[in-house]
Amino acid sequence: MPDYIPFNQIFKDHTELEAVQEILSGETWHGDGPAGKRVEAKLSKWLDSRFVFLTTSCTHALEMAMMVLEIGHGDEVILPGFTFVSTANAVRMQGGIPVFAEIKASDLTLDPVDVARKITPATKAVIPIHYAGVSADFEGIRKAIANHSGSGQQIAIVEDAAQAVGAWWNDQALGTIGDIGCFSFHDTKNITCGEGGAFLTQNRELAEKAEWIREKGTNRSAFLRGEIDKYTWISQGSSYIPSDLLAGVLEAQLEKRNQILALRKQVWEAYRYRLQEAAARQWITLPEIPEYASSNYHIFHFHVPDPADRDPLLRALKDAGIGASFHYIPLHNAPFAQKILDHPVSLPRTEYLAQTLIRLPLYPDLARISDDVADRVMKVLTRFFQSKGR
């Protein structure tokens, strides 16, 4: 077993290089080329999604989502305090107000009870995050919204499915359930092209707007399909289409999706099995996967009961060659949130969960040695907690 187990490692073989070589030897390097079109069609078929648009990142797909929904000055958008900055920035960039809500202790996804509390007449959207590739509670979130829609108020659901490609809520793919879904193909994600993302919707009207926004606010895509004879500027927009070179890498990765899922599952289950005893001794708490969720095993994480133990335990794991980590630092009390919010936000459950979180290395190539790595983690936990007399 190697001395140091990194936190993440890209799963690749010769096919990514071959895909790039083939595209480089051709004449179409720009976006929306043959590889991009094939990837969109493959994602659409796999996930049963009516519209899929590749983007340059999930950050950009989220920005598109806020533009498509016409979020504007003073509109409120509810999102968990426990998320990546891009979720909140997308709201802010349109002049919207991010309204931070609590997460559930069992799976770190948005708490529908707190969503219900935070809906106001200014609420325009809710953004659940599928943390670790485990579905947020759609039923709970929809109920919270439905209780407020009697007055005719429309509240959209935008799934921040950055971590959730190939994960499911019942028999529906994450990213295809809300009004809009956003994926990430960053190289920390299960399927990657380095930097990339996708915008998904099942709604034709939203798809049409997304297509303009992604193509610099023009109807150039309809022009290229021969549907109109010239194209022009028809909405705000930007340049969100990835080069075909990246789409080629993504296509090669997509072909390996079943293998990637099976290997990640193997690692996740090795941790789960071998750390059970640590949970039984109440040294740690293991995450739960709700019955409605099929995970894509993006993250394996656990919590220590006492926040004071988290950093020393992270150090002990690193000293033992385990590249463990934590993430996210909640956004609601980050410096920029304090600057833009007109009152301080307190989310005690989120703060406690973030301060007690530890994430373990998880990537397909670890499957070869996952039992040994999980044993090594268990040894560190045993030494750490026994030295404290627990």
Q: Which residues bind ligand PLP (CB under 6 A)?
A: 57-59, 83-84, 86-87, 129, 160, 162-163, 184, 186, 197
- Smallest gap, in angstroms, from Cβ of residue 64 to ligand PLP? 12
Distance CA 41, CA 50 (A): 10
Tell me whether residue 163 or residue 218 sits nearer to ligand PLP (CB atom): 163
- Smallest gap, in angstroms, from Cβ of residue 186 to ligand PLP? 4
Strands (E), 112-174: 123-126, 156-161, 168-169, 172-173
- Smallest gap, in angstroms, from Cβ of residue 80 to ligand PLP? 9
Task: Please report which helix (H) or strand (E) contains residue 294, including its range.
Answer: strand 293-294
Closest CA to 7 of 298, 270, 278: 298
Distance CA 177, CA 157 (A): 9
- Smallest gap, in angstroms, from Cβ of residue 57 to ligand PLP? 3
Tell me whether residue 103 or residue 207 sits nearer to ligand PLP (CB atom): 103
CA distances from 296 to 4, 28, 214, 338 (A): 25, 33, 28, 34
Tell me whether residue 65 or residue 377 sits nearer to ligand PLP (CB atom): 65
Tell me whether residue 297 or residue 385 sits nearer to ligand PLP (CB atom): 297
- Smallest gap, in angstroms, from Cβ of residue 158 to ligand PLP? 11
The tokens for 367 are 């499957």
Tell me whether residue 98 or residue 197 sits nearer to ligand PLP (CB atom): 197
CA angle, corner 113, sides to 112 and 118, nearest 5? 90
Tell me whether residue 64 or residue 289 sits nearer to ligand PLP (CB atom): 64
Tell me whether residue 67 or residue 313 sits nearer to ligand PLP (CB atom): 67
Distance CA 82, CA 162 (A): 14
CA-based R_g, the chain, Å: 22
Distance CA 351, CA 102 (A): 9
User: Which residues does residue 129 pair with via DSSP β-bridges, in sequence order?
Assistant: 160
- Smallest gap, in angstroms, from Cβ of residue 58 to ligand PLP? 3
- Smallest gap, in angstroms, from Cβ of residue 273 to ligand PLP? 27
Cis preceding linkage at 328, omega within 30: yes
Amino acid code (one letter) for 94: Q
Tell me whether residue 85 or residue 105 sits nearer to ligand PLP (CB atom): 85
- Smallest gap, in angstroms, from Cβ of residue 281 to ligand PLP? 31
Q: Are 66 and 79 a contacting pair, CB within 8 Å?
A: no
